[in-house]
Amino acid sequence: MNPDTDSTAAGIDLGAMRRAIAASRQALADGNMPFGASLVAPSGALLWVAQNDQVTSGDCTGHAELVLVREVTRVLGAPALRGATVYASGEPCAMCSGAMFWAGVARIVFAASQADIIRTLGGATLPITCAQVLQGASPALRVDGPVLQDEAVEVLEGFARPRAA
């Protein structure tokens, strides 16, 4: 275990997750569901940040992770996704998990867990975790989380408050 490499990796994880959470705040401000995602290359370079656009696009598949995959593919090309890490402010659903697998993403890191999302937002759910969707995938995808869970849940609560009032 190399402390210099480990601290750099942790710093990349925290920085990229904070960008995803910031995108979730922006999605909420724009009237969308409060979810964001960022993409980091294997080199550690931040490549892209995207946010949920379900409401503003009228597309029920406008989850932050799918928006990210589509935008990156269109602008940077599909190879930019291969071997990269996606940071998601909320644990990816089954649809997004599958899309990231097919895009060649190597690692997924999430902040708020599926249980946090269900508890905070309620509504329709697919009760299967990202890790369960990807269990047995070949090639394997690494799933880590929660990371910065409280920060992400705070944004979800900001969405839930006006509905509860």
Asked whether 108 and 116 are in contact (CB, 8 A), the reply is no
Dihedral sign from CA coordinates of 39, 111, 15, 34: positive
- Which residues are CB-neighbours of 15 under 8 A, at least 6 positions away? 46
Identify the active-site residue in 65, 71, 91, 154: 65
Pick the closest to residue 103 from 86, 81, 70 (CA basis): 81
Q: Please say if 65 is a catalytic residue.
A: yes
Please report where in the chains the tokens 């597309």 appear, as a residue. 59
Pick the closest to residue 63 from 34, 42, 87, 40 (CA basis): 34
Q: How many CB atoms lie within 10 A of CB 125?
A: 11
List active site positions.
65
